[in-house]
Amino acid sequence: MEVNYLHQVIQLFVDNRNVFYVFIILTGLSVGSFLNVVIFRLPLILEKEWRQQCHEFLEINDKEKAEKISLSSPASACPKCQHKIRFWENIPVISYILLRGKCSSCGNKISVQYPIIEIITALLSLIIAIHFGVSGETVAALLLTWSLISLTMIDFHTQLLPDNITLPLIWLGLIVNTSGLFTDLQSSVIGAISGYLILWLVFHAFKLITGKEGMGYGDFKLLAALGAWMGWQFLPQIIILSSLVGAIIGISMMIFLKHDRNKPIPFGPYLAIAGWIAMVWGQQINSTWLKII
């Protein structure tokens, strides 16, 4: 019965693309709302875990009972007055507009990041749906897209690329390509290995020359994941594009925002942006580049 129902839904999407696109937009908005939770809470969860592990290793008796936190609990609340967010206050984008960007209880401003992430998630999801259509590629590409959005924002705020996301992405990239969904399995495996080693070598060469660490190990794993998803053939494109975008944004920040050049700028967001572009338009970019050459 469930299989037949699923088949009917898929057939509806195939026959009526507008229904499919509306479904994708609504799903993207809902997922974007969840991603906001992941972006905010996952670094806190990891910090608590690391602190607990340090206390256990150093045999420190931590008498203070830290509040347990997960992606599902405690319930979302205003950070200022602790007002519990009701369901109608948590409708993607709409609630932010109706509340005029403020807490309904104390009037504390709500970060504009929340609706922006919801809109971006819906927009990128729609682009994926239009590009890949009603297919398995769309389902897989959506999972990668949502993961890259989370990694981008977490790295931007904390300069962390959590293993909780990057490592599953590597394995998932290898799994989806066992059937050649985006590339053949051999290219996927070589892509994962090469993606990690390329930045690993760059990291140690930079450290040997300057005595400083130019990037984190999370960047190695993210590029390995992108290589696993798209194959080694797209790694040069991703590296060049991410470096170009990073240089432009970095220079702009130093000129217009007076960003301290000694303050590190996370590289993960640029890798994520370049990887997503390669997934959607990588073939056209490579073809154009080869024609120019």
| pLDDT single digits (tens) 25-44 | 999 999 999 999 999 999 99
Q: What does the block give as tokens for 199? A: 């930045």
Is residue 16, in this structure, part of any structural domain at all? Answer: no
Nearest to 196 by CA among 169, 171, 218: 218
- Tally the C-alpha atoms within 13 A of residue 4's C-alpha that lie toward its C-beta: 1
Is residue 52, in this structure, part of any structural domain at all? Answer: no
| Partners of 84 in beta bridges | 77
Is residue 170, in this structure, part of any structural domain at all? Answer: yes
Nearest to 155 by CA among 42, 25, 32, 50: 42
Is residue 68, in this structure, part of any structural domain at all? Answer: no
Is residue 34, in this structure, part of any structural domain at all? Answer: no
Residue 198, φ and ψ in degrees, nearest 5: -60, -55
Is residue 176, in this structure, part of any structural domain at all? Answer: yes
From CA 23, how far away is CA 13, in angstroms rounded?
A: 9
| Per-residue pLDDT at 115 | 95
For residue 144, pLDDT beyond 90: yes
From CA 114, how far away is CA 108, in angstroms rounded?
A: 14
Q: Which residue has the higher pLDDT, 104 or 132?
A: 132
User: Average pLDDT in the 183-206 region?
Assistant: 94
Is residue 128, in this structure, part of any structural domain at all? Answer: no
For residue 89, pLDDT beyond 60: yes
| Per-residue pLDDT at 61 | 75
Helix, strand, coil content of the chain in percent (nearest 5): 75, 0, 25
Is residue 232, in this structure, part of any structural domain at all? Answer: yes
Domain of residue 251 covers 135-293
For residue 63, pLDDT beyond 90: no
Count: domains in the chain: 1
pLDDT tens digits for 211-234? 777 778 899 999 999 999 999 999
